[in-house]
Amino acid sequence: MKTSDITPAIAIHPGEILLDELEAREISQKDFAIKLGIQPTQLNEIIKGKRGITAEHAVLISKGLNMEPMIWQNLQKLYELDLEKKRQTRK
């Protein structure tokens, strides 16, 4: 069995990882949203998994945290793939 064949028990939204990163750096959601130039509600929706991380968000988040944008894009794509794998195993 290849690891790509494994269906995760839960899919972790990149917003959860972002929240962990903000908490580790002791940055409030409100302060980070202001730094990114987006509405705090928009950031909160990402963190709660109600909104995905777009390419634009990935670039903004990366600049705000001094990381590569591809990290956030990859996390989003992996999340979407995990959801699809779970959906297909239910068929």
Please determine, for residue 8, whether its predicted confidence score (pLDDT) is greater than 70.
no
pTM, two decimal places: 0.86
Residue 82 domain flag: yes
Query: Which pLDDT band holds residue 5 (cuts at 50, 70, 90)?
Result: low
Q: Using alpha carbons, list the distances in angstroms from residue 26 to 13, 20, 63, 72, 91.
A: 20, 10, 17, 20, 43
Count how many domains the chain has: 1
The candidate with the shortest Cα–Cα distance to 52, out of 29, 32, 79, is 79
CATH number of the domain within which 47 lies: 1.10.260.40
What integer best gives the mean pLDDT of the chain? 93
Q: For residue 1, tell me if it sits in a domain.
A: no
- The pair of structure tokens assigned to 33 is 């949203």
**In this predicted model, what pLDDT tens digit does every residue of 12-66 receive, in sequence order?**
999 999 999 999 999 999 999 999 999 999 999 999 999 999 999 999 999 999 9
- What are the tokens at 4? 């790509």
Is the per-residue pLDDT at 74 higher than 70?
yes
The 8-class DSSP code of residue 5 comes to G
57 falls within a domain: yes
Asked if residue 4 belongs to a domain, the reply is: no
